[in-house]
Structures are given as structure tokens and as C-alpha cells.
Amino acid sequence: MGSWYWWMIIGMAIVTYIPRAIPLTFLEGKELPPIISGILQNIPYAILGAMIFPAILMIKEGDILFGLIGAVAAFAIAFAGANVILVVLGAIAVLSIYSLFF
Amino acid sequence: MDKFGFTSGMKAGSSIAIGYFPIALTFGLLAKTTGLSMMEATAMSILVYAGASQYIALNLLTTGTDPLLIVLNTFVVNIRHFLMTASLNEKMQSEKKWKKSIYAFWVTDESFSVLATRKEDKLPTSFGVGVMLVAYGSWVVFTAVGHLIGANLPIFLQAAMGIALYAMFVGLLVPSMKGNRKVVMLALIAAVINCFFYWTQILSTGWALLVAALVSSITVEIVYANQAKRKGGVV
């Protein structure tokens, strides 16, 4: 790659940094109206729901069943009360065993 | 006494490190086949540090897309971080702006999720940086390793490890869902909206996430505010 590649990386770095940095620094010390603050506190759970579905079902191209098994395993382990690391390792283990046999 | 310090942050971030491992490894490998040197590939992970955008950039590089368009596309994909960091700001302790402008660089979907779902209020900066650095370290190191060894994991493990980050999201979400209808509603509504966008292909992934999360958060907040008003209680 030529020197343009480095300019491109710098450009990518800047436009990735801006949306990360502006809210964190500009909102520092600001008291937001309760309704806005409430909405912002809801965001993590909403975004988690949207990040999980439907992507978790698509982890193996053309095989929704594979993703479904992983999703069921992850939710089952999590509802049983396991911590995050166990949910991750457990889901990987279930799918490894599944793909070894099928 | 390091209850919520740097080390416990690193521990909390370790599931991200596991989840990043296969993705960064594959990125390093793909970058090599795209024709990037190890330094060029690793530099992108060090300086840009955004999984989805980096994959898209590789894809566009192979099709000979104008670099300026790649930069523009990167911005569009990452607009959702405006919402995440605004939300994260409610969760982190008050801190000097220059320090926040530094750790802002390490906010990703995953580090945001780990931090924002903590039960504690006002997380210390050191804890946040611990979570973020263990994730960043994994991303950078395994990009280089992927390029260096130029081979991937055995196929059965590759497919299975694809679940890692999603399993982490599940593991973060479920404890908050238990006995909390509001959290269940938030996740469910956003998931349904996002699935709708996915299957109808009305919006690209980045925008779909943003709109789904916003609509769900606003709707649920209004419903709960009205309920509280009807009961005459204080929220």
C-alpha cells in the first residue's frame, strides 16, 4: 500500500474518535433534564437487545439453527445465574461439541 | 483495597478479550491476504480500533474504493457511538475532561456494554480504563498474531467462537432482566425493531441499531413516566 493508506488510517481514526469523545467531554458536569437522563439510562439495555438479535442467529452463514443453539445455550446458562465469562465459555463449548458431531 | 480499581476492571473486561480474539485473528489474516503489511494491519487496529469499520475497510480496499469514501463510511458506521458515549457519561464518575477525552478512544460496543450494565453507580475512571485496556490489548495483539501466523483456528472452533461476543451480551443483559420488567421491555422492543430493519433491509446495520435503541428507550421511558404520573408517585 502507498502513503495514501496512512492518510486513510488517520482519517478513519479521526472520524471514529469524534463520536466517542464529543458526548463524554461536552456532557461532563452537565445536569440533564430527568426525561433525557432516563432515556440515556435505558439505552444500554435497548442496545444490548438490538445487538443480540438478529445477529446471534446469523453467526454461521446459511445456518440459523447453529446460531439458535448458541443463543439458547447462552440464555440458559445466563438464567441459571452464571457470570459472564461462564456464559461465554459455556456457549462456545456447546457449539464446539455440536460442530464436532454434526 | 482495589474493589473497583484498574485490576478489577481488567477482570470485568476479560470476556471482551476472549470475544475479540477470534475476530482480531481473522482480521489480521484477511488483512494479509488483502496485501497489507503487518505494520499497516496492526496500525489500523491501534489507531482506528473499530471492528466493523475495519472489516468493511478491508472489503472496500479489495474492490479499489476511493479511500475518502472508506473514511466517510467509517464515520457513518460509528455514528451510534454518539448515543453510547452520551449514555456512558451518565454511568461514569465525574472526571477531568482531558482524562475523559483519552479514555473515550477506547469506547466500543463491548466495553460500553460491560460498563453500562454494572450495578454500581458512578464507576471510577480506573475501573473503566481497566475494562477498556484489556479489550484493546486483545484486539491489537491478536491482529498482529493473525497476520504473523497467517492461519486461522480449526474450523469447528472458528464457528463456535463466533458466538463469544453475543454470548457476552446475553450474559450482561440477563441478570438485569431478572425481576425487572422495564429492562425486559427495553431489550425486547429494540430487538424486534432491529430484526424488522434487518429483514426488510430498510436501514444499514449501524443506523438500524441506533434507531432501534432510541425508539425503544424513548417509548419505554414515556410509558413509565405516564404510569408514575397516574399513580401520583415519584419515579
Tell me which residue of B179, B200, B198 sits closest to B190, measured CA to CA. B198
Shared domain check, A45 and A23: no
Shared domain check, A41 and A15: no
pLDDT for B158 equals 87
Q: Is B55 left (phi over 0), alpha (psi -120 to 50) or beta?
A: alpha
CB pair distance less than 8 Å for A20 and B85 = yes
ipTM: 0.96
CB pair distance less than 8 Å for A47 and B84 = yes
CA distance B64 to B66: 7
Shared domain check, A60 and A77: yes
Q: Could you read off the pLDDT of A28-86 as tens digits, one per residue?
A: 999 999 999 999 999 999 999 999 999 999 999 889 999 999 999 999 999 999 999 99
Q: Is pLDDT at B235 greater than 50 in this prediction?
A: no
In chain B, what are the domain boundaries? 6-175, 179-235
pLDDT for A59 equals 93
Shared domain check, A94 and A56: yes
CB pair distance less than 8 Å for B188 and A78 = no
Helices (H) and strands (E) in chain A, counts: 4, 0
How many angstroms separate the CA of residue B194 from the nearest CA in chain A?
A: 6
Q: Is pLDDT at A26 greater than 70 in this prediction?
A: yes
The range of the structural domain enclosing residue A18 comes to: 1-30
Shared domain check, A40 and A74: yes
The contacts of residue A78 (CB under 8 Å, 6+ apart) are A87, B170, B171, B173, B174, B175
CA distance A68 to A66: 5
Tell me which residue of B180, B66, B83, B187 sits closest to A7, measured CA to CA. B66
Tell me the chain A residues in contact with residue B186 when contact means C-beta distances shorter than 8 Å: 42, 45-46, 49
Residue B75 CA to its chain's centroid (Å): 15
Shared domain check, A70 and A22: no
How many angstroms separate the CA of residue A43 from the nearest CA in chain B?
A: 6
CB pair distance less than 8 Å for A85 and B112 = no
What number of other Cβ atoms are within 10 A of residue B186's Cβ? 30
> Which chain B residue is nearest to residue A11, measuring alpha carbons?
B71
CB pair distance less than 8 Å for B170 and A87 = yes
Q: Could you read off the pLDDT of B132-152 as tens digits, one per residue?
A: 999 999 999 999 999 999 888
Shared domain check, A41 and A19: no
Contact B74, B57 (CB under 8 A): yes
Total structural domains within chain A: 2
CA distance B88 to B82: 10
Shared domain check, A26 and A48: no
Q: Which of A25, A28, A45, A53 to mutate to test the interface with B (most CBs of B within 10 A)?
A: A45
Q: What residue has cell string 473497583?
A: B4
Q: Can you tell me the mean pLDDT for B106-118?
A: 97
Q: Could you read off the pLDDT of B158-190 as tens digits, one per residue?
A: 889 999 999 999 999 999 999 999 999 999 999
pLDDT for B1 equals 44
Residue B198 cell numbers, joined: 434487518
CB pair distance less than 8 Å for B209 and A47 = yes
Shared domain check, A25 and A38: no
- Looking at residue A35, its amino acid is I
pLDDT for B234 equals 52
